[in-house]
Amino acid sequence: MTHIRPTNEKLFNDAKRHIAGGVNSPVRAFAGVGGVPVFVQRAKGAYIYDTEGHAYIDYVGSWGPMILGHAHDKVIDAVKAAAEDGLSFGAPTPSETTMADLICQIVPSIDLLRMTSSGTEATMSAIRLARGYTGRDKIVKFEGCYHGHSDSLLVKAGSGMLDIGEPTSKGVPADFAKHTVTLPYNDIEALTACFEKFGDELACVILEPIAGNMNMVIPSHEFHQALRRLCTEHGVVLIFDEVMTGFRVGLGGAQAHFGITPDLTTFGKIIGAGLPVGAFGGQREIMECIAPLGGVYQAGTLSGNPLAMRAGKAMFDELTGEGFYESLSKKTDYLIKGLKAAADKHGVPFETCAVGGMFGIFFTDQLPKNFNDVASRCDAKKFAKFFHGMLDLGVYLAPSAFEAAFMSAAHTYEDLDKTIEAADQVFSQL
């Protein structure tokens, strides 16, 4: 049965009256796939429901946080109980300590941390901290990695290799961008050349240790080893941006997956269980540079919000349960194998990758290794057709070929089979 959504166009037009572009974050506008966004009424478990009551099996999961599925009973109970006690105090609460203890216990590279209200704040603050700690200005990031929308990070590579960066957004001063060097992801040669040229001027290298904002790209072990070695040799702070991968690709995140110890880590998405939260933390010596202990300023009126902390705690109780990630990984593998088989059956060039509860699908015959591969080799038109075909059959994927997909504990094998059947039908028409 095909979903037809006549009211969405009206809702989108209503939204555009007073919300810039009708959305509060650009990817939601469906610009990458065309058409009109689905307006969501509510969600439960693996499903979201639109304003017309259609159900969709959801693989966006609010872009990662909903690893337990939507409106998980224990999380909702925790939020209700927290709300009864008051929404925010601007003073310390024991639940912040509980969350910090939990995160430090799960992620051994973190001695001290700070909560923020978003992933953007976490990465922005981690970079300021790295600059304050090293007394250096230059930073390195990688093409296709997204770290939120702060000025230093909305930068792409200049016209020549190792040139100064250029802003990717209007409003970012070129003077700012010049401190950011942008390198191709997963490329040891480029990294080595950069360290040869700038090694002792670099404050930090920031990366998604498994990239999830250029679709999904899993870098090589050697790339991670080279990063760790070069950063150590040159006194450069290695920042793993695990806003997406943290507690997603496994309980210990990408750093546990690769066995690499970063100096600082940023979190977001999952740790708030769907409420606005971020965090950054790492080596004690570096973190002690933060105010009030040190001279690097960082603050937040709603940071460590009690609803978010108590929701996060309820969620961690589930994540740390026996076999949680094994079960999640099995489902992810089952789904991507099923999708791949369906694509093969219809002769559609298609590749997949996955770690834990995160996966990527690509309309190409070769898994991409970096942003350039994703942008140049993957068939975005085919993806857009696939996206709309799946949507009409009740499967909600990210509305962009440059996003990863997410599994939740609430997805059943029946949901996965339904997804594979829908894909089989859509592939046959591509």
Ligand X SMILES: *Cc1c(COP(=O)(O)O)cnc(C)c1O
Closest among 27, 21, 52, 24 to 39, alpha carbons compared = 52
Q: Is residue 219 at the binding interface for ligand X, with CB under 6 A as the rule?
A: no
Minimum CB–partner distance for residue 213 and ligand X (Å): 5
Part in contact with ligand X (CB under 6 A); list of ranges 113-121, 125-133, 232-240, 339-347: 113-121
Q: Which tokens belong to 415?
A: 């949901």
Which region, left, alpha or beta, applies to residue 83 given φ > 0 means left and ψ of -120 to 50 means alpha?
Answer: alpha
Among 82, 236, 243, 275, binds ligand X (CB under 6 A): 243
Q: Alpha helix locations (H) across 140-220?
A: 174-177, 188-198
Residues facing 166 on adjacent strands: 156
CB 363 within 8 A of CB 349: yes
> Could you give the angle at which helices 324-345 and 306-319 cross, rounded to 10 degrees?
80
| Cβ distance to ligand X smaller for residue 244 or 355 | 244
Element (H, E) at 360: strand 358-362
Among 8, 95, 118, 180, binds ligand X (CB under 6 A): 118
| Cβ distance to ligand X smaller for residue 210 or 416 | 210
Element (H, E) at 104: helix 94-106
Q: Is residue 120 at the binding interface for ligand X, with CB under 6 A as the rule?
A: yes
Minimum CB–partner distance for residue 268 and ligand X (Å): 4
Minimum CB–partner distance for residue 146 and ligand X (Å): 5
Minimum CB–partner distance for residue 28 and ligand X (Å): 12
The DSSP 8-state label assigned to residue 162 in this structure reads T
User: What dihedral do alpha carbons 243, 249, 252, 257 form, nearest 10°?
Assistant: -120
Element (H, E) at 286: helix 284-287
Minimum CB–partner distance for residue 209 and ligand X (Å): 9
SS3 112: strand
| Cβ distance to ligand X smaller for residue 120 or 329 | 120
Part in contact with ligand X (CB under 6 A); list of ranges 105-113, 194-202, 218-226, 239-247: 239-247
With CB under 6 A, what is the number of residues at the site for ligand X?
16
Residues 252-271, interacting with ligand X (CB under 6 A)? 268-269
Part in contact with ligand X (CB under 6 A); list of ranges 116-124, 228-236, 253-261, 419-427: 116-124
Q: Which tokens belong to 331?
A: 């489902």
What's the rounded Cα separation, in Å, for the pair 190 and 143? 12
Q: Which tokens belong to 37?
A: 């966004």
Among 69, 119, 304, 360, binds ligand X (CB under 6 A): 119
What's the rounded Cα separation, in Å, for the pair 311 and 72? 10
Catalytic residues: 146, 241, 269
| Cβ distance to ligand X smaller for residue 24 or 159 | 24
| Cβ distance to ligand X smaller for residue 239 or 393 | 239
Q: Is residue 403 at the binding interface for ligand X, with CB under 6 A as the rule?
A: no
Judged by the rule CB under 6 A, the positions of this chain that interact with ligand X are 118-120, 123, 146-148, 208, 212-213, 241, 243-244, 268-269, 278
